[in-house]
Structure 1
Amino acid sequence: MNVTVLYVGSSLLAPLRQAEAEINSAYRLDLRIAAYNFGLSLTESEWREVENDLKAADVVFVIHVMDGENATRLLSSLERYGEQHRAVVVINCMPDLMRRTRMGQLDFGQLLRPLRTSGTEIVVGEEAAPLGKKAGRASRLVVKVGSWMGDQARSHRANKSRSHTPYLKLVDRLPGLLRFVPAAGKLRDIKHYLYLFCYFLQPTPMNIRSMVLYAIKHYVREERVVKAAIDVPPPERMPAVAIYHPDAPSLFESFEAYRKWSERRAGKQNARVLVPEETIGLLLMRPQIVSKTRLHYDGLIRAIEAEGLSVVPAISTLMDNREACEKFFVEKEEKRGKGKKRTAKAEDDGGSIADGFTSHSRVSQIVSLTGFSFVGGPAMNDSVAAAHFLHDLNRPFRSVVSLDVQTVEAWEQSGTGLNPVQAGMQIAIPEIDGATEPFVYGGMPEGGVAPVPLEDRCRRLARRLRRWNRLRNAPRSELRLSLLAFCFPPNKGNIGTAADLDVFPSVWETLRRLQADGYTVEVPDSPEVLRGMLLGGNSERYGATANVAFRMPADEYRRLCPYVDEIEKEWGSAPGQINSFGGDLLIQGIMLGNVFLGVQPTFGYEGDPMRLLMARSGAPHHGFMALYTYLEKVFRADAVVHVGTHGALEFMPGKQVGLSGACWPDRLIGELPHIYIYSVNNPSEGTIAKRRSYAELISYLTPPIENAGLYKNLASLKELLTAYRQTTD
């Protein structure tokens, strides 16, 4: 007996393998489940295997396949082998695939004509089935869900603005009510489909096993199936939203229950746990938790806790993350006193206002592990609603990447990094909602059945989150900041240039504002004085283009930078010929209290300064690497601010998107929080900065311009040319 499952994601393979073993052990059906992740790019050899398994399949499940080459080829394969299948069950797929659902008399194409109830009957197409008194309520529920299924069959775009949440709540009530629905004709098959749908929506290992068994029991008419007397339990129910922790015995349906457990785990009731300023809110995909394919989540949770931070890992419905955020990340308090709009605490936290309540955040940052839209999930994107909610909550929003539709090995070997599907759903779509830090932290290994954490990436991400927290929580007078100006084209006296930005006045105004806000800053008397300090100073002594703030001996550079050997293969022995003096590397810049104003070094190829930026391999020169090594490990900056559009760090060799620890932008920025002052009229390269150097962009407007016209001798020349043309005509 053969069941073929074609799906997108990483949560189904492990429970399917478990189901195959348990069903064969319990019922000896000689069952073989062939499962393929259609999010991956399949080779021709793999497609031949898919074709063979489809040809041999008794039951076919198609789940979450939305578009792409795999979907197109699957449509023709289902058409070719459809007569051989006892049942084809299509769930949450593109409309053309939804119409390929075949279960007994159920034809999804007929759902183009919506279900309806009429008096004591439920009407399916032209067929009517009688209703008993108890069946009325259940059948009306079937009508509602069936109409939604019809919407999917017609087009997943038809009702883009409608929320899926009401239907998810309806489906949650279905198992207890479906037993009252008549099991006759087409209605019987709709009932079976909805049962399968309920099993799928709660993809615990038991429910996935039951989903397969249910389809076999009702659609594979074989003697061995009848003799097996298959018993299929009702769907297990799991909470729609909850808090998960790998050390907890069960899920928590309230924040208070999680708080009490966390305090007991810490060893004493008054332990300092879940302090908002030190707590990270994680949004987890519900299928991964209930299917127990969650090792990658566990690895990240433990890495964050190892940095001394608390964590609230909230299971989200995926369609709308606001429900989980409001329930677990937001503390509501009654307003105090008539007419007061918010408490002092809420004012401090930037909390939003609800009728009769003030609210503030329980977390310092929100990190989504789900991909897709914050509001809308994979079905739609309501970025306006997302922006409104996140603005009120006033906490940074990150979206990090698990490799669900490509293997870890494929990602590591790829010069591109993430494949288009992965980049779209886990980078581009979350960016619409303002997400940053697109950091790869885990994924599916080659030949694996569930995602695993990438331990080194989890540690790096956790440290970055901790350092972002320090920026918010530490006394401003203690924070150390680095502002970096650029020099391009090199050797042209262009230090402090940027597209559409007057750099030195901008830096000077920034320093003044930092000083006013409590940072320890020494502000020069004017932008001109600031420029003179940076470009002058001791620069002539070292033959440098700017003042030298620090000389890093080559031995210290070797000790602090783990990548020296790789750089030496490209540029020779340290310290090299660029930004060096004697045996030292020169860090150009000036110290202004706790602020370092530095100069990003040139690219290294003087005759072709863009060469390194376009190289598929190579490395930054020693001077470039030494600057960022100095910032993180000597100056110990709490953040780096690149001033203006644009520098070179984000264009250094490495993957295009979804960087690894072998990519030079990732190595250069390290664990430093990165803020980039960037021109608003260059979103394409700004996106590169966000994706390849984990930058938070602060946009500046381009200066207003008007047609300057001609003046002085140019105006006279124009008149002469005009007169000449008229004369010759």
Structure 2
Amino acid sequence: MFTHVKSTIRHITPEPLNGRHLLKVVYVVLEPQYQSALSAAVRSINQNQPDIAIEISGYLIEELRDPENYEDFKRDIAEANIFIASLIFIEDLAEKVVAAVQPHRDRLDAAVVFPSMPKVMRLNKLGSFSMANLGQSKSAIAQFMRKRKKKSGSSFQDSMLKLLQTLPKVLKYMPMDKAQDARNFMLSFQYWLGGSSDNLENFLLMLADKYVFKREKKNSETSVQFKDPVVYPDMGVWHPLAPEMFEDVKEYLNWYSSRQDISTDIKDPLAPCIGLVLQRTHLVTGDDAHYVAMVQELEAMGARVIPVFAGGLDFSKPVDAYFSEEHGKTVVPLVDAVVSLTGFALVGGPARQDHPKAIESLKRLNRPYMVTLPLVFQTT
């Protein structure tokens, strides 16, 4: 059962404008953790930017089942400059999004859709960049996009991450204008994956500068200043008190043993050790209070904690990488039990799961595996 929430609670209107250019943004996402980060980003822009202000309306995809919310969504889209969507993989709701946005796509200054069903991905529009253009190209990026129909939600997002890493090689096959717009799309994805309010603020400023502000003020030398995205590890070990995310479990354990706020009993390698599996998006967006509470409670009970995360939906990767270590041909577990806090299967997302791969990973580890009952949009 999805709890009914009025989308108007996420609506932010700047006041006063004081002569600034007003930009209207509408977003629809699967993951509720982006709401607070986007709201913080918009409030910062409205407080600090001298030339631009943003009015934003946000929706969780399941909220579009409510007729009143859906009418509000269509009304907001009709007035928007920019449309943003992410992880729209539910067939009937994807159709609702397309039906609402498609009639206004040509008028929108920008439409940015991150991993979603192909019909929703085709709404993408950044200057000359679109999914249709890429599909007609002979470039490496076109081959990638043509394969997207065969991908589940998790593998498609993993493929997008790989494409980010190889982007410079891909863009050389494209005409200059299309290459720049394709680069801006992938840059947008980096901002989005970064997830912090600072990254999302610069994401919105980049879109305003490249696709709204300059077009409407062609004779003005004024431009919107924005910073490059801050990139966080796609996979690693996190702790609420650590100065950084760790990509090496030995470095994490060295930091853990150097802590002054825990007893020597917890630092003992023989102390009970619990592995936690977390969603990266909750960490980078700052929506991590439930993770912090779990770590604190386990440590208060005398357990060491190794909280790991992944950017895609294949959580077997951090389980394999961080919960055990190899001694010759022998795999020695570092944890006594594993608890998943993700709300997903170990491998896969809402669209599809890979149970055999998950089973193989847990067999190798050979430790008890438990799944919490998260108070979010789904349970495992």
| Fold shared by both chains (TM-score > 0.5) | yes
Over 3 Å counting, the alpha-carbon distance change for 1:331 and 1:376 in structure 2 is: same
Residue equivalent to 2:286? 292
Looking at structure 2, the residues matched to 76 and 315 of structure 1 have their Cα atoms a distance apart, in angstroms, of 35
Distance in 1 separating the partners of 2:138 and 2:358: 34
| Amino acid across the alignment from 2:135 | L
Q: Which residue of 2 aligns with 1:403?
A: 375
Shift of 1:377: 4.1
Partner of 1:21: 43
> Shift of the alpha carbon at 1:227?
5.0
The alpha-carbon distance between structure 1 residues 110 and 232, as it changes in their structure 2 partners (threshold 3 A), is same
Shift of 1:307: 2.0
Cα distance in structure 2, aligned partners of 1:33 and 1:268: 43
Residue equivalent to 1:370: 342
What code does the residue aligned with 2:80 have? A
Which among 199, 204, 220 is matched to residue 191 of structure 2?
A: 199
Note the 1:310-389 alignment, pairs <5 A.
Answer: 310-334=304-328, 357-378=329-350, 380-389=352-361
Cα distance in 1 for residues equivalent to 2:41 and 2:166: 25
Q: 1:107 is matched with which residue? A: 130
Q: CA deviation at 1:31?
A: 1.1
Residue matched to 1:3: 25
Alignment-derived partner of residue 306 in structure 1: 300
CA distance in 2, matches of 1:293, 1:42: 25
CA distance in 2, matches of 1:52, 1:163: 31
Which structure is larger by alpha-carbon Rg, 1 or 2? 1
Aligned partner of 2:211 in structure 1 is: 219
Instruction: Identify the structure with bigger relative contact order (alpha carbons < 8 Å, sequence gap 6+).
Output: 2
Deviation, structure 1 residue 111: 3.3
Match of 2:3 in 1: none
Identical-pair percentage:
24
Per-residue deviation, 1:32: 0.9
Aligned counterparts of 2:96 and 2:208: Cα–Cα separation in 1: 26
Per-residue Cα deviation, 1:77-106 (whole angstroms, up to 9, x for no partner): 112322321121111111111112222223
Q: How does 1:139-538 map to 2 (within 5 A)?
A: 143-144=140-141, 146-152=142-148, 155=149, 157=150, 165=158, 167-172=160-165, 174=167, 184-220=176-212, 221-223=215-217, 227-266=221-260, 271-273=265-267, 275=269, 278-334=272-328, 357-378=329-350, 380-405=352-377, 422=378, 426-427=379-380
For 2:9, the equivalent position in structure 1 comes to none
Q: CA deviation at 1:294?
A: 0.7
Supply the distance in 2 between the matched residues of 1:206 and 1:330 (Cα, whole angstroms): 35
Distance across 2 between alignment mates of 1:303 and 1:268: 13
| Whole-Å separation in 2 of the counterparts to 1:178 and 1:113 | 15
> Deviation per CA, 1:576-618, whole angstroms, max 9, x where unpaired?
xxxxxxxxxxxxxxxxxxxxxxxxxxxxxxxxxxxxxxxxxxx
Q: How does 1:556-571 map to 2 (within 5 A)?
A: none
Alignment check: 8 A CA contact 1:65 1:94 kept: yes
Q: Judging changes above 3 Å, is the alpha-carbon distance between structure 1 residues 177 and 32 closer, same or farther for their aligned structure 2 residues?
A: farther
Match of residue 110, structure 2, among 83, 87, 91: 87
Distance of aligned partners of 1:166 and 1:83 in 2 relative to their CA distance in 1, 3 Å threshold: closer
Q: SS state of the match for residue 111, structure 2?
A: strand
Which string of whole-angstrom CA distances, capped at 9 and with x for unpartnered residues, describes residues 187-238 of structure 1? 3322221221222222222221122122211111222995542122222111
1:263 to partner: Cα distance: 2.0
Q: In structure 1, what residue type is equivalent to 2:297?
A: A
SS at match of 2:286: coil
Deviation at 1:381, TM superposition (A): 2.2
Cα 1:358–1:46 change in 2 (3 A) is same
- Contact map agreement 1:282 1:367 (CA 8 A) in 2: yes
Letter in 1 for 2:105: G
Contact 1:91 1:197 in 2 (8 A): yes
Aligned partners of 2:159, 2:91: CA distance in 1, in Å? 29
Amino acid at match of 2:61: F
Equivalent residues of 1:29, 1:225 under 8 A apart: no
Contact 2:273 2:304 in 1 (8 A): yes
Provide the C-alpha distance between the structure 2 equivalents of 1:91 and 1:14, rounded to a whole number of angstroms.
Answer: 19
Shift of 1:272: 4.0
When residues 268 and 309 of structure 1 are mapped into structure 2, their CA distance, relative to the original with a 3 A threshold, is closer
- The one-letter amino acid of 2:62's match is G
Deviations 1:313-341 (A, max 9, x none): 1122333223212222102212xxxxxxx
Structure 1 residue runs of 5 or longer lacking an equivalent are 117-142, 335-356, 406-421, 428-729
Structure 2 distance, partners of 1:159, 1:14, is: 27
Q: Deviations over 1:34-73 (max 9, x none)?
A: 1111134653222222122101100101111111543222
Which residue is equivalent to 2:15? none
Higher mean alpha-carbon deviation, 90-99 vs 31-40, is at: 31-40
> Would you say the 8 A contact 2:323–2:365 is kept in 1?
no
For the aligned residue pairs, the C-alpha RMSD in angstroms reads 2.9
- SS at structure 2 position matched to 1:247: coil
> How has the CA–CA distance of structure 1 residues 376 and 197 changed in structure 2, closer, same or farther, with 3 Å as cutoff?
same
SS in 1 for 2:342: coil
Matched residue type, 2:41: A
**What is the match of residue 81 of structure 2?**
58
CA drift of 1:110 comes to 3.6
Distance 1:99 1:282 in 2: 37
CA contact (8 A) 1:4 1:35 kept: yes
Give 1:5 shift.
1.0
SS at match of 1:212: helix
Question: Structure 1 residue 277: deviation in Å?
Answer: 6.1
The 1:364/1:39 distance shift into structure 2, 3 A limit, reads farther
Q: 1:363 to 1:41 in 2, by over 3 A?
A: farther
In 2, Cα distance between equivalents of 1:41 and 1:319: 24
Alpha-carbon offset, residue 180 of structure 1? 7.4
**Which residues of structure 2 form unaligned runs of 5+?**
1-22
Residue 268 to residue 246, structure 1, CA distance change in 2 (3 Å): closer
Alignment length, in residue pairs? 355
Match for 1:298: what amino acid?
Answer: V
